[in-house]
Amino acid sequence: MTGMNRAVNRRDFLKGTLAATAGSALALSLEERALLAGIASKPSGPASQKSADLLPTGKIGKRKVTRLICGGNLISGFAHSRDLIYVSSMLRHYFTDEKIWETLHLCEEFGINTALLRTDDHVMKILDTYWNKRGGKIQWLAQVYPKEGDTRTNIRKAVDAGAMACYIQGDIGDRWVKAGRVDLIEKALGTIKDAGVPAGVGGHSLSVPMAIEAAGLEPDFYMKTLHRSDYWSYSKEG
């Protein structure tokens, strides 16, 4: 190419590649046609930050939260993918920073105002850029990871980085309840409340909220999965 230096972004690359395929003897698959149509329908300039009316909402503490929220497992590369061991790696490659920002923007565009995301350096960097450089407003419901010997550090990182609420990650809730260490959950909840944001407890097992209620603790909310416990990759030891 002469006379100009043309940058090829992901959208241009896909559009050009699929268009070339369309002109070849090979017919496009249904998935390829859908992808090409989706790319063509997107504006080439920066996405508008105008959000739709909110979906129906509830409250966590004093904060208004849409009843449909954006989950974060796939964004962080965690997939319940049975024996398809390549899926988690594929997700980590697919969800580039740009794709995550696009996903959060689409949530806001269609009326979702909250995303549930883990507390780690990558997520905090993504959110900092989204809020401060890309005009995003989505609320962060932080999944936090207190440790037996340190219930404070990860929680403080989340709150200092802008979390609107925090909840103890489900595997931790399961493990501490199973070990009879509800006192650790109480300590972590206290750290969250002392930081001035709503405090929650996560769990995959019903024994978690039952133990919390029996102990007289008062979290602001629970984060409980809804699923059968006999699916293919379920492990009672997990």
Domains in the chain, start-ordered, CATH in brackets?
Answer: 10-41 (no CATH), 57-224 (3.20.20.70)
d(CA 115, CA 120): 14
Query: What is the average pLDDT across 128-143?
Result: 97
When mean pLDDT is compared across 15-19, 26-30, 79-83, the lowest value belongs to 15-19
86: confidence class by pLDDT, cuts 50, 70, 90 = confident
227: confidence class by pLDDT, cuts 50, 70, 90 = confident
Quick one: tokens of 181?
Answer: 């260490």
Residue 73 is predicted with a pLDDT of 77
When mean pLDDT is compared across 44-48, 126-130, 209-213, the lowest value belongs to 44-48
Question: C-alpha dihedral over 190, 144, 163, 93, to 10 degrees?
Answer: 180
Quick one: tokens of 133?
Answer: 């450089």
- Beta strand pairing call for 114-118 and 63-66: unpaired
25: confidence class by pLDDT, cuts 50, 70, 90 = very low
Residue 76 is predicted with a pLDDT of 72
Query: What is the average pLDDT across 151-177?
Result: 97
Residue 4 is predicted with a pLDDT of 46
